[in-house]
Amino acid sequence: MYSDKVIDHFSNPRNVGEIENPSGVGTVGNAKCGDIMRMYLDIDDDGVIREAKFKTFGCGAAIATSSMATELVKGKTVQEALEVTNKAVMEALDGLPPVKVHCSLLAEEAIHAALWDYAKKNGIVIEGLQEPVEDIEESAEYDKM
Ligand code: FES
């Protein structure tokens, strides 16, 4: 049912924890399943993500997707980080079962929420970034694989 990569990132998640004084932090949840994800980003003066950490109170797929999402955004510019969609995270994990697709959306929205916080704190606009939703079930459509 789950790929080896999903099992690996669930059993041995990367970048778990918090960043003190993060450049941006965002929390999103899914009211339906009750899972919550918080993403911390450390972004340097060139707009490059140096560090990403997460805390997820959620299912195994949410933990695996948060872990992969933090790995994917590290070293990217804030603009490039927008390309780390839930589909990109799922692809990097070699797929997720259809009932678990929404878990990957939590990871995408957590990145967006942290970027939104960073942009707000610095008075900048990140092109293409929309205000994140707190509850992903309220967001209209998302990529399915
Ligand atoms: Fe809700 Fe996975 S079941 S995030």
Residue 39 has pLDDT above 90, yes or no: yes
**73 C-beta closer than 6 A to ligand 1:** no
**58 C-beta closer than 6 A to ligand 1:** yes
Residue 136 has pLDDT above 90, yes or no: no
| pLDDT reported for residue 6 | 98
Tell me the β-bridge partners of 42: 51
What spacing in Å lies between the alpha carbon of 84 and ligand 1's midpoint? 19
Residue closest to 115 by CA, chosen among 77, 75, 71:
77
* CATH architecture, domain defined by 4-122: Alpha-Beta Complex (3.90)
Question: Crossing angle for the helix pair 4-11 and 60-73, nearest 10 degrees?
Answer: 90
Global pTM reads 0.93
Asked whether the beta carbons of 40 and 52 are under 8 A apart, the reply is yes
Domain ranges of the chain: 4-122
**36 C-beta closer than 6 A to ligand 1:** no
Probe target for ligand 1 pocket from 35, 65, 67, with the most ligand atoms within 8 Å of CB: 35
For residue 105, what are the contacts with CB-CB under 8 A and spacing of at least 6?
86, 136, 139, 142
List, in sequence order, the alpha helices (H) in the chain. 4-11, 60-73, 78-81, 86-92, 101-122
